[in-house]
Amino acid sequence: MRRQATSNYIVTLSPMKSKITILVTLFVVATFIFTSAYISTKQKPPIATNHAATKRYLYVAVPGIRDYLGYGGHGILVFDIDNNHRFVKRIATKGLHPDGTPSNVKGVVVSVALNSIYISTIESLQRIDLATDKLVWEKTFEGGCDRMSISPDGKTMYLPSFENSFWNVVDCATGAIIKKIDVYKRAHNTIYARSGNYVYLDDIASPWLYVADAKKHELVNKVGPFANFVRPFTINGKETLVYVTVDSLLGFEVGDLATGKKLAHVEVEGWNPGPVRRHGNPSHGIALTPNEKEIWLADGHNMRLHVFSAAAPYRQLTTIPLQDMPGWITMSIDGKYVYPSSGEVLETKTRKIITTLQDEFHNNVASEKMVEIDLAGNKAVRAGNQFGLGGAR
């Protein structure tokens, strides 16, 4: 017999009961250890990775309506697309007139490969590093700068002179001129095709759209003639069709990029053209949805967007009033949002205005020069474009 003492009394246990107690205790301990190990295995946290979540931002260059500072001031304004387009930060930029005041921003493009955003003004081209928000270089060009476009590999830029008779082909890393291409009279808008094979050049003193070979850097074709001088335009993903706006037309025309022929002339129904505040032509701004089902068209006189089916006979679908004159239209990469230069953000599917861009001082922001950049940490992984290009391949 063995006695087990407690603080108040003595308990006498038989050898058999003592063994049972020990076995029960061991079983309970073993069960606890096994259960804890099982739960620990099931609830094991995921292995940490170095991959930062991709965030989508809208980069808006200002002054992006002439050199008017009342539409957002000076610099690059960054907005969080996935957080109701809330203001994130302002990036300081250069780009000044000779008198030291901010110059008109003429274009904005991105090189994912070089992790850089480029801003052209009337006088100069700036390269800004997306990781540090610092200026890498600023270069002036003889004849000035206008709305440029960049190659898919992010290495080459077609930079139009400021309504002079030529384009400069520019090295994106250094800003050095690779070649000069003479066109006609007033170089302006530029689209580098997604394929990287051709660049489409809009001389606004010509009814023709010019086509350059992106490897030889020389003109190889032209499309038209269109009804008047070519203004903003966009192309489909397969590079078979171009949709152009032209002077004096409230509407758009369609051209065949393979044959060089004009295919269609489309006028806005139910709305009359009239005087506009800027640009001189009624429909300065056009974009394809990335799925190429719709065309969105600017109406400067009536301060509206008109939406059309992108398939012939180009049926007019609806019209949407805006707070100011639209002079350009940009799309988000996924096509969910439409960004007219008047500063509203529209949901493509519902046609509804969901918010208005505002800066850090709660002032409305408007610009004709904006682009989506998707960042993983401080590295660009994807970028949109200024031109509302089609995405079907």
DSSP 205-266: T-SSEEEEETTTTEEEEEE---SS-EEEEEE-TTS-EEEEEETT-SEEEEEETTT--EEEEE
Question: What is the rounded average pLDDT of the residues 308-336?
Answer: 98
Give the tokens for residue 304: 């509206």
Question: What is the rounded average pLDDT of the residues 356-369?
Answer: 98
Quickly state the pLDDT bin for 51 (edges 50, 70, 90). low
Query: Which residues does 352 contact at the CB level (< 8 Å), separation at least 6?
Result: 346
Burial class (CB in 10 A: 0-12, 13-18, 19+), 92: exposed
Residue 9: is its pLDDT beyond 70? no
CA neighbor of 243 nearest in space, from 288, 301, 303 = 288
Instruction: Give the tens place of pLDDT for each residue, 84-134.
Output: 999 999 999 999 999 999 999 999 999 999 999 999 999 999 999 999 999
CA neighbor of 204 nearest in space, from 281, 291, 97 = 281
Helix (H) or strand (E) holding 27: helix 15-42
CB atoms near residue 232 (< 10 Å): 30
Residue with token string 């005087």: 275
Instruction: Give the tens place of pLDDT for each residue, 149-182.
Output: 999 999 999 999 999 999 999 999 999 999 999 9
Q: How far is CA 269 from CA 39, 272, 287, 315, in A?
A: 68, 8, 18, 10
On whether the CB atoms of residues 317 and 308 are closer than 8 A, the answer is: yes
Quickly state the pLDDT bin for 393 (edges 50, 70, 90). confident
Question: What is the rounded average pLDDT of the residues 361-372?
Answer: 98
**Sign (positive/negative) of CA torsion 135, 140, 141, 146?**
positive
Q: Provide Rg for the chain, Cα atoms.
A: 30
Q: How many CA atoms lie within 13 A of 73 on its CB side?
A: 15
Q: Is 172 left (phi over 0), alpha (psi -120 to 50) or beta?
A: alpha
Q: Measured between alpha carbons, how far is 216 from 31 in angstroms, rounded to an integer?
A: 76
Quickly state the pLDDT bin for 323 (edges 50, 70, 90). very high
Instruction: Give the tens place of pLDDT for each residue, 183-217.
Output: 999 999 999 999 999 999 999 999 999 999 999 99
Question: What is the rounded average pLDDT of the residues 292-319?
Answer: 98
Question: What is the rounded average pLDDT of the residues 223-233?
Answer: 98
Q: Measured between alpha carbons, how far is 213 from 124 in angstroms, rounded to an integer?
A: 25
CA neighbor of 152 nearest in space, from 116, 190, 193, 115 = 193
